[in-house]
Amino acid sequence: MGYYAGVDLGATNVRAIVAEPDGTTIGVSRNATPRGPTGIDVTEGVLETLRDACTDAGVDPTAIEAAGIASIGPFDLAEGAVVDPANLPDSIDRIPLTGPVEKLIDSEEVYLHNDTNAGVIGERFYSDRNPDDMVYITISSGIGAGVCCDGHVLEGWDANAGEVGHYVVDPRGRLTCGCGREGHWEAYCSGNGIPEYARLLAEDDPTTATDLPLEDPDFTAKDVFDLAGEDELADYVIDQLAHWNAIGVTNVVHAFSPIVVSFGGAVALHNEDLVVDPIRERVSEMVMTNVPEIRVTELGDDVVVEGALASALTAGTGDRQHYQG
């Protein structure tokens, strides 16, 4: 009997799970993502984490029949590697993934996905309602989407479909995105963008009362949400975030016509009432086609690694019809 594995390589943590053929998890592991010095060190961290999960499960890595890997991008898909990841040190230029994992488990059934695509695979595989038309949106340090349309998870050229965080939502381009372009959704509404946006709104109207530590280098998005209902500027920022988030989600809905839009990522998961509820209210007024169900993933932080496992269980498709177990 073979086992299955899911791996999630993020900028902060590497996680791995090992499961029985019926999807029951029997081993887990989590380590900090190595900060280099080279990409090979990150590869070693991934292999180590997968080995740890195998040890936890009491199985040899070669007993793994198939593995799914969810990772930060961008990818060289032909080589199964991450190339120049944005949120790791500059000395990390290339992280080989598919080949080394194939070698460790002695199987060629290794499927590499970007983390948001793994998110939509996981959400679709495990939720009670798993329609063929579904979008998973993460709002965390960045913003991105995994799109399943007509039962197919969209990959696009070099698997770059779903980079919706770089939708232009503000044509005035008042904030510059981490990618270097102006007016992008995640420049305003991601965990990394929110502090800068709060500073911009404070400058717009210096009479707005606030206790937010705007000048503190440790000022984070969490500070804004923590002061909700108590601070005039924090409330204004949260209201404006809802405005841009609703524009971004409306664009997603008009492009892909999903039945369900499911949110994950720390900003959405930790602030459902302040982030996701206002999107639901506004989008219903802004969409001219069918209004989808808008919800938060029930898998929480596990949605991406569970999606990687679901990919392994379904020969890379995420489709229950291909369930191998």
Contact set with Zn ion (CB under 5 A): 166, 177, 179, 181, 184
Contact 123, 258 (CB under 8 A): no
**Signed CA dihedral, 69, 322, 26, 99: sign only:** negative
55 vs 251, beta carbon nearer Zn ion: 251
Looking at residue 265, the DSSP 8-state letter turns out to be S
152 vs 181, beta carbon nearer Zn ion: 181
The residue whose Cβ lies closest to Zn ion is 177
Instruction: State in angstroms the smallest separation of the CB of 187 from Zn ion.
Output: 6
Instruction: State in angstroms the smallest separation of the CB of 155 from Zn ion.
Output: 20
Q: Which of 244, 323, 263 lies closest to 120, judged by CA? A: 263
Pair of tokens at residue 153: 């998870």
Instruction: State in angstroms the smallest separation of the CB of 122 from Zn ion.
Output: 25
184 vs 280, beta carbon nearer Zn ion: 184
125 vs 188, beta carbon nearer Zn ion: 188
190 vs 297, beta carbon nearer Zn ion: 190
Instruction: State in angstroms the smallest separation of the CB of 181 from Zn ion.
Output: 5
Please list, in sequence order, all residues whose beta carbon lies within 8 angstroms of the beta carbon of residue 139, skipping any fewer than 6 positions away.
Answer: 189, 190, 191, 245, 263, 265, 266, 267, 268, 275
Instruction: State in angstroms the smallest separation of the CB of 291 from Zn ion.
Output: 27
Q: What is the Cα 89 distance to its own chain's centre?
A: 20
Please list, in sequence order, all residues whose beta carbon lies within 8 angstroms of the beta carbon of residue 77, skipping any fewer than 6 positions away.
Answer: 112, 158, 159
26 vs 179, beta carbon nearer Zn ion: 179
- Give the span between the Cα atoms of 298 and 262, in whole angstroms: 9
Instruction: State in angstroms the smallest separation of the CB of 205 from Zn ion.
Output: 26
**Signed CA dihedral, 231, 235, 236, 241: sign only:** positive
